[in-house]
Every structure is written in structure tokens, then in C-alpha cells.
Amino acid sequence: MDSMRVMVVGAKGRVGSRVVAGIEEADDLVLAGAVDLDDDLDGLVGREMPQVAVDFTIPSAVFGNLEILLARGVHAVVGTTGLTDTQLAEIDRLAREHEVAALVAPNFALGAVLMMRFAEEAARHFPWVEVVERHHEHKLDAPSGTARITAERIAEARSDAPAPAEETESAPGARGGRVAGVPVHSLRLPGSVAHQEVWFGGPGETLVVRHDTINRDVFVPGVLLAVRAIARHRGLVRGLEPVLWSDA
């Protein structure tokens, strides 16, 4: 079987550089281009003809990149966060039109995917919940994509939400922001990579579901798993879960 040709967009970034190394080490994958933000993506895609492209760039660039890739009939695996619902709908339309798939995931760490699933299950029994996420000081969006998706899944899973307390914030924002009615707190600190805790409270007990990313190598196995499975899908694929469970 021929090796799959994979292009990495954002190849000089913190995660992109590690994905490049992971592809080069894989026996069944071939690196078909390591692209930076100032490169001519359309020209490189036309010349190198990748089957799959992995995007770890920045929120302001990712949608334009996907328009180019999908129009060229290239499957996309996307770890860049910040896409709007309108953009995701257009990505789904473009991918289906060109008979390819775009897998967009907020987190490719397998432990983080399990953390979100465990939190969703716990929310069925503990309606009182808050999310605390911590990332490095250079992260551009807040809350993180992982925290946003976690909160949305919690909101869908729990049967009812607690009535809001009559609180007074002497410092605006002290109680965090709300995503789908779930309080979310974002920390940005040097020395951090990607960390999330989901705190559940019940009468006489608390339950904490936590995941810590120690270094960015943790994302590579999930990215390569998505790369190898993406051709079996069409349209927009939300998260790594369809690959982890449907393709198992």
C-alpha cells in the first residue's frame, strides 16, 4: 500500500513542528510539505499534492487555509481553535461538495478527549459544575476550545441547571465567563502548557475530573490517528471521538 502524503500547515509552531517529526517517523506516512504562514499554500498544495493536510496555525488564518485545502480535494485535520459556527457550517458544505472531510478538534490529547467524556457523564448526576482551564501566556483565545466544548457537552448532558445565585462581583469577571450556562475560568501563565479541571459539587462531596498536558508531544498520536482515519469520513467531523470510537 502506498504511503499517505501529509502536509503540515503551521509546521514551525509549537505543535506543528512535533507533528512534522511524528509524520517523518511513521512508516505509513510521507511528509508532503512543511508550510509556514507566509508560504503560498495554494501553490504548494498544487505542486506537492497531499492527500491530507494538518493545520496548527492561528485563528485568523485557519478558515482561509481550509477554503484552499478543501477546494483542492484535500482532507483536513485541524487543531487550530477559534472557528465560528458560521465558518464550521461553511467548512462542512465545502468538504461535502468536494467529497472530502475536515476533522476539527479542540484537543488531540487522548486523555483530554476522555476527560471531556467523563465530565459529560458526571454532569448527568452533578448539575453544579465549573470549568477551570490553564494555558501558557501566549494562547490567543479564551476560553480554550477544549473548555468551550466541555461546557457545551455538560449543558447538553445535565437534566437541569442550578438557579443562578444572587451574587455580587466586587471585581467584574471574578466569577468567570459562562458558556452554555456553565461558569468557565481561564488562566494564562508562563510554565503552563494545557490543563483543565472540571469541578462538580454535590451534597457533602466534590468530584474533580482533571487532565494535564505535560508537553506537546502528547498531541501527536491523536493527530496521526485522525490522519489515518479521515478518508473514511465526509463533511465536518467534530472532535476526535468519532475516530476513537466509531473507527475502533
DSSP states along 71-92: HTT-EEEE------HHHHHHHH
Q: How far apart are CA 90 and CA 78, in angstroms?
A: 15
Of 12, 98, 125, 135, the active-site residue reads 135
What angle do the packed helices 59-71 and 85-97 form, to 10 degrees? 20
Known catalytic residue at 135: yes
Residue (of 12, 235, 230) closest to 246 by Cα position: 230
Of 75, 136, 139, 185, the active-site residue reads 139
In the chain, the largest separation of any two C-alpha atoms, in whole Å, equals 64
Residue (of 81, 79, 196, 48) closest to 131 by Cα position: 196
Sign of torsion over alpha carbons 235, 45, 16, 51: positive
Known catalytic residue at 139: yes
Q: Say whether 164 sits in a helix, a strand or coil.
A: coil
Catalytic residues: 135, 139
